[in-house]
């Protein structure tokens, strides 16, 4: 193995093309990818980053040919990246050619039914998160709650208690200044504690660093179809402990997914039916976003082709696509060798199977160029044709690499050896459809295989100015057809959709469908079309309108199973209070002001010596906050005090300022409701809680305390205080955040809860 380069500069050829990054992409690069000095100052240009990555990965060829022209191959890799035809997963862009050298995004770790294994895995998780990776676990091997523990003569606390240990460890690592950690927690549907697992996130304060999925078996689906019971099995001894009605449990999954978007489901038997190395081991878990099933101690490096760049003259350029696939597979295979793994066990298992995950982004952009709406039959056909072509080309390239470099070491134990032992294969898997939230920003294309999230949206910059981002293809069509105007763009940004805007011709309203214009069935049709020709799995969010009912979610889960998907993640709009979509709420609020000639001066009332009031304890990212609201004789709010953190701290001083201004407004005659609407949802970098209990900032906590005070006074909830509110925003830039592949992702700055 060639040692990972640790130097921070590379000799850059003068002939390299200059990548055309957008302003938005440059912002993301500076925040997340470009090397910085010890003072946090950027010390490399984007072109240098791409050459650093290309040169480092090209050096992997030296493992097989000491005479290879590394610079020539690096030039090919560089052009691939600089043209945005292909980009690897974020850890490769960040770490290739640097001291850390950890290049993979996806890991799965084993959790055995012993204290030693459980806490050893906690340590390993910390090392992986520290290196920029995400982790998946199955907790199905841990004995159920209240089961016997022979060594201590006590009883087991169950897998959920240990999941909370992992969650706290992840939170601690995150607070320590490293990249945000993300986990997938999976439990088999036949585990005795499965009902508790399904309901776990009913308490929104726990497992905030986990995505949860239920591993659904074929036996369970058969019992569900027959409305019969199935066995719950103690993993400690394999004994059946009781029966569970499949319909009852399935409806609980549906209920929880409808209310919070979790748990998702993975069809674990289907995943293992496509496991290429069943003789080596069975797959129990996936990475955090669900698209990469892996064996224990296995990792995978991913990369995505930009389909938006594979259309020429309104036709798919299969020659270009084929060449790009071949070079991308070569690139990803080299990553397996160049990678500096966080654990020796992971290096061993990963190199035995050499899995890579080549996927796509820009699919929605490709459809628009071809003139096919996302929800059309033509779109399904394109998905199948393109992915079959990619999968075939990737397999052919992997076989050619194997002829020169050798098959993956576990080849003899794989399904490939059973089918054709004379045809070696380099990589046990080649294709994966991952979410591409950040790298799609760099490439300037739509994310993964998702539809457009919005045709126009608002980016807020310094001084709260608003910049309207517009899909470039829509902008061109609108200008070419003489219906473009800034008023139209603002209307689209406000509505979040083109539907119902008569100024836009019907064919373009149909072509530029957004995620919420598309039915769940259409979403699943695209997912299943890609899944047919994807070795691993497909990460995709199935969007539901807020008024969707549980039966809609139930139908989607069954449709996913019946159409060959390997899992499903659903998200009902607004089901979590921390949803931070600014679409539909982009125009700055204005209030009618009296004409100057008739305006009456406000008179500040004096404070009486004694006022009645209430004090509310709120939980914030800065610690406990105490909000006191005092009233006048008419039970109108008169003044507000709050206390948070240590006296003299920044949070305390800002909160004191808010309290003084709110008190001044009330004593001058302002009603409390506008204060709630202005403060609620303001975000900072340290939110607290989850779902309905999520507090996005100290200002948000004050607004929530005031809202609770008003509702208690009125004896009921005031809809005016809950309608048309934004529930926070991106904690880094305040931009629009969408739910994508099991995570919240900001396309304005690249922030991701799972990054």
pLDDT band for 173, please (50, 70, 90 cuts): confident
Residue 394 to residue 388: CA distance in whole angstroms: 10
Give every CB contact of residue 750 below 8 A, 6+ residues apart in sequence: 27, 28, 31, 32, 437, 438, 441
**Which pairing describes strands 541-544 and 567-572: parallel, antiparallel, or unpaired?**
parallel
Per-residue b/e over 656-679, b at no fewer than 16 CB within 10 Å?
eebbeebbebbbeeeebeebbbeb
Question: Do you know the residue count of the chain?
Answer: 755
Smallest Cα–Cα separation from 103: which of 326, 337, 288?
337
509 within 8 A of 527, measured Cβ to Cβ:
no
Task: State the burial class of residue 238 (Cβ atoms within 10 Å of its Cβ: 0-12, 13-18, 19+).
Answer: exposed
Least confident of 378-392, 527-541, 645-659: 645-659
Q: pLDDT tens across 89-132, in order?
A: 999 999 999 999 999 999 999 999 999 999 999 999 999 998 88
Residue 1 to residue 62: CA distance in whole angstroms: 9
Quote the DSSP letter at residue 566: S
Q: pLDDT tens across 669-699, in order?
A: 888 888 887 788 787 767 777 656 778 888 8
Quote the DSSP letter at residue 25: H
Residue 413 to residue 408: CA distance in whole angstroms: 10
pLDDT band for 185, please (50, 70, 90 cuts): very high
Residue 316 to residue 567: CA distance in whole angstroms: 29
Tell me which of 286 and 725 has the higher pLDDT.
286
Q: What percent of the chain has pLDDT over 90?
A: 63
Please compute Rg for the chain using Cα positions: 27
**Which pairing describes strands 298-306 and 311-312: parallel, antiparallel, or unpaired?**
unpaired
For 470, what's the count of Cα atoms within 13 Å in the CB-facing half-sphere? Answer: 19
Q: Is the pLDDT of residue 327 over 60?
A: yes
Give every CB contact of residue 370 below 8 A, 6+ residues apart in sequence: 311, 314, 315, 316, 378, 382
Smallest Cα–Cα separation from 372: which of 318, 315, 320?
315
**Other CB atoms within 10 A of residue 539 CB:** 29
Quote the DSSP letter at residue 180: P
Least confident of 51-60, 317-326, 627-636: 627-636
Q: Is 727 helix (H, G, I), strand (E, B) or coil?
A: coil
For 22, what's the count of Cα atoms within 13 Å in the CB-facing half-sphere? Answer: 18
Q: pLDDT tens across 332-365, in order?
A: 999 999 999 999 999 999 999 999 999 999 999 9
Q: CA torsion angle for 402, 403, 404, 410 (degrees, to 10)?
A: 30
* pLDDT computed for residue 462 by the predictor: 45
Q: pLDDT tens across 715-725, in order?
A: 666 544 554 33
* pLDDT computed for residue 174 by the predictor: 67
Give every CB contact of residue 97 below 8 A, 6+ residues apart in sequence: 4, 5, 7, 8, 10, 52, 53, 55, 56
Facing residues of 36 across strands?
42
* pLDDT computed for residue 657 by the predictor: 85
- Hey, which residues are catalytic here? 287, 289, 291
Residue 575 to residue 442: CA distance in whole angstroms: 30
553 within 8 A of 252, measured Cβ to Cβ:
no
Q: pLDDT tens across 445-502, in order?
A: 999 999 998 898 876 554 455 678 899 999 999 999 999 999 999 899 888 789 999 9
Residues 422-431, mean pLDDT to the nearest whole number: 98
Q: Is the pTM of this model over 0.75?
A: yes
Packing angle of the helix pair 70-82, 46-58 (nearest 10 deg)? 130
156 within 8 A of 146, measured Cβ to Cβ:
yes
Give every CB contact of residue 239 below 8 A, 6+ residues apart in sequence: 233
Residue 298 to residue 286: CA distance in whole angstroms: 10
Tell me which of 662 and 92 has the higher pLDDT.
92
* pLDDT computed for residue 34 by the predictor: 95
Per-residue b/e over 408-417, b at no fewer than 16 CB within 10 Å?
bebbebbebb
Least confident of 528-542, 662-676, 724-738: 724-738
Q: Is the pLDDT of residue 140 over 80?
A: yes
**Other CB atoms within 10 A of residue 265 CB:** 25
């Amino acid at each position: 193995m060639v040692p990972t380069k640790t130097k921070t500069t590379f000799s850059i050829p003068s002939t390299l093309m200059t990548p055309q990054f957008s302003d938005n992409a440059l912002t993301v690069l500076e925040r997340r990818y470009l090397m910085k000095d010890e003072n946090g100052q950027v010390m490399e240009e984007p072109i240098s980053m791409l050459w650093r990555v290309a040169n480092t990965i090209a050096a992997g060829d030296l493992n097989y040919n000491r005479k290879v022209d590394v610079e020539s191959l690096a030039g090919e890799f560089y052009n691939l990246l600089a043209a945005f035809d292909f980009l690897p997963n974020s850890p490769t862009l960040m770490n290739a050619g640097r001291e850390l050298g950890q290049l993979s995004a996806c890991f799965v770790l084993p959790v055995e039914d012993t204290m030693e294994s459980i806490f050893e895995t906690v340590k390993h998780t910390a090392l992986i998160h520290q290196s920029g990776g995400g982790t998946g676990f199955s907790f199905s091997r841990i004995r159920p709650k209240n089961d016997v523990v022979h060594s201590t003569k006590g009883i087991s606390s169950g897998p959920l208690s240990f999941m909370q240990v992992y969650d706290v460890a992840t939170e601690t690592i995150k607070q320590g200044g490293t990249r945000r950690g993300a986990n997938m927690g999976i439990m088999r549907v036949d585990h005795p504690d499965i009902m508790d697992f399904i309901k776990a996130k009913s308490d929104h304060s726990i497992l905030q660093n986990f995505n949860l999925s239920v591993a659904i078996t074929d036996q369970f689906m058969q019992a569900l179809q027959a409305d019969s019971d199935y066995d719950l099995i103690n993993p400690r001894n394999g004994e059946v402990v009781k029966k569970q009605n499949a319909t009852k449990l399935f409806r609980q999954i549906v209920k929880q997914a409808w209310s919070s978007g979790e748990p998702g489901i993975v069809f674990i038997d289907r995943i293992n039916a496509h496991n290429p190395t069943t003789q080596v081991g069975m797959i129990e878990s996936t990475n955090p976003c669900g698209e990469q099933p892996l064996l224990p101690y296995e990792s995978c490096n991913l990369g995505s082709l930009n389909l938006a760049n594979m259309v020429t003259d309104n036709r798919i350029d299969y020659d270009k696509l084929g060449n790009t696939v071949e070079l991308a597979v070569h690139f990803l295979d080299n990553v397996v060798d160049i990678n500096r793994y966080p654990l020796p066990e992971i290096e061993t298992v990963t190199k035995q199977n050499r899995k890579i995950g080549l996927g796509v982004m820009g699919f929605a952009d490709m459809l628009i160029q071809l003139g096919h709406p996302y929800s059309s039959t033509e779109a399904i056909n394109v998905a199948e044709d393109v992915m079959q072509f990619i999968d075939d080309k990737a397999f052919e390239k992997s076989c050619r690499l194997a002829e020169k470099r050798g098959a993956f070491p576990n080849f003899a134990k794989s399904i490939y050896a059973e089918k054709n032992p004379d045809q070696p294969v380099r990589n046990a898997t080649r294709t994966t459809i991952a979410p591409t939230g950040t790298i799609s920003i760099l490439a300037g294309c739509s994310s993964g295989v998702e539809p457009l999230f919005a045709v126009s949206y608002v980016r807020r910059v310094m001084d709260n100015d608003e910049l309207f981002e517009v899909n470039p293809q829509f902008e061109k069509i609108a200008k070419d057809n003489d219906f473009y105007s800034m008023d139209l763009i603002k209307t689209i940004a406000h509505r979040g959709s083109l539907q119902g805007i008569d100024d836009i011709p019907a064919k373009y309203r149909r072509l530029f469908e957004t995620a919420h214009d598309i039915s769940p069935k259409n979403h699943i049709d695209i997912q299943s079309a890609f899944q047919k020709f994807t070795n691993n799995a497909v990460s995709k969010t199935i969007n539901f309108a807020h008024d969707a009912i549980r039966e809609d979610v139930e139908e989607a889960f069954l449709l996913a199973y019946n159409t060959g998907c390997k899992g499903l993640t659903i998200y009902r709009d607004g089901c979590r209070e921390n949803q931070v979509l600014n679409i539909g709420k982009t125009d700055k609020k204005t209030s009618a002001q009296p004409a100057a000639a008739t305006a009456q001066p406000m008179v500040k009332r004096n404070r009486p010596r004694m006022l009645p009031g209430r004090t509310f304890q709120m939980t914030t990212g800065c610690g406990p906050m105490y909000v006191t609201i005092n009233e006048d004789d008419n039970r109108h709010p008169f003044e507000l005090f709050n206390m948070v953190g240590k006296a003299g701290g920044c949070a305390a001083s800002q909160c004191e300022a808010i309290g003084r201004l709110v008190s001044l407004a009330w004593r001058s005659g302002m009603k409390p409701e506008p204060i709630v609407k202005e403060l609620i949802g303001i975000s900072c970098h340290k939110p607290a809680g989850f779902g309905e209990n999520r507090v996005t900032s100290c200002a948000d906590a004050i607004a929530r305390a005031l809202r609770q005070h008003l509702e208690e006074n009125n004896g009921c909830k005031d809809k005016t205080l809950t309608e048309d509110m934004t529930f926070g925003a991106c904690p880094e830039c305040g931009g629009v955040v969408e739910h994508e592949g099991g995570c919240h992702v900001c396309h304005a700055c690249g922030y991701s809860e799972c990054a």
